[in-house]
Amino acid sequence: MVSQIDAREAPSFRATGRTDSERMFRAAMRHSRFVRFLRIGIPVGVLVSIVAAGVVMTVLDPLRALARLPLNVGGLVVSGTKITMQQPRLTGFTQDARPYVVTARTAAQDVTKPDLLELEDIRATVESKDRGSFEVLATSGLMETKGDKLTLQQHVVSIRPTTRRF
């Protein structure tokens, strides 16, 4: 049904039918149904995901594949939780912008301690302050990757400085 709003002004018409209160009531009902669904759906979803994660970790056990290793891929060996690389080469700069090169026969990194490298048969070349360089040899050492700190542990030998540049 169409009715005229005001006779004095330009003719305009308004459609009558559902009132705004009916529309708002239906929207409120939809919202209430949605809230009731979420009050049950969210806790159930969390419980299902926790149970699924538990099943994946116990039944499928993704870490059991590590027990069947060692696996050798090129210069990389994976054994248990350790990854060993053959002939690693680490380069960088000291805090006072002098370049360094550290090479080793092997570098092993435990996946449970990702910031620590165990190096064997180390040869480190560092530029000295007078722009020459010196070499340090060691049987083993630890490299802390976060702090760029190399701790040489066994049979540390310093070779005389050279004038060779990088």
In the chain, where the domains are located: 2-60, 67-162
pTM of the model: 0.49
Q: Cβ contacts of residue 61 below 8 Å, gap of 6+? A: none
How many CA atoms, within 13 angstroms, populate the side-chain half-sphere of residue 159?
A: 16
Q: How would residue 128 be classed by pLDDT, with cut points 50, 70 and 90?
A: confident
Which has the closest alpha carbon to 120: 133, 134, 102?
102
pLDDT tens figures, 65-122: 666 655 555 667 777 788 888 888 888 887 888 888 888 998 888 888 888 888 898 8
Give me the pLDDT at residue 162, please. Answer: 59
pLDDT tens figures, 31-75: 999 999 999 999 999 999 999 998 888 877 766 666 665 555 566
Cβ proximity of 79 and 70 under 8 Å = yes
- Flag whether pLDDT at 163 surpasses 70: no
Phi-psi region at 157: left, alpha or beta (left = phi > 0; alpha = psi -120 to 50): beta
Give me the pLDDT at residue 37, please. Answer: 95
Which DSSP state fits 88? -
pLDDT tens figures, 134-144: 888 888 888 88
Q: How would residue 11 be classed by pLDDT, with cut points 50, 70 and 90?
A: low
User: Which has more confidence, 147 or 2?
Assistant: 147
Tokens standing for 158? 């310093």
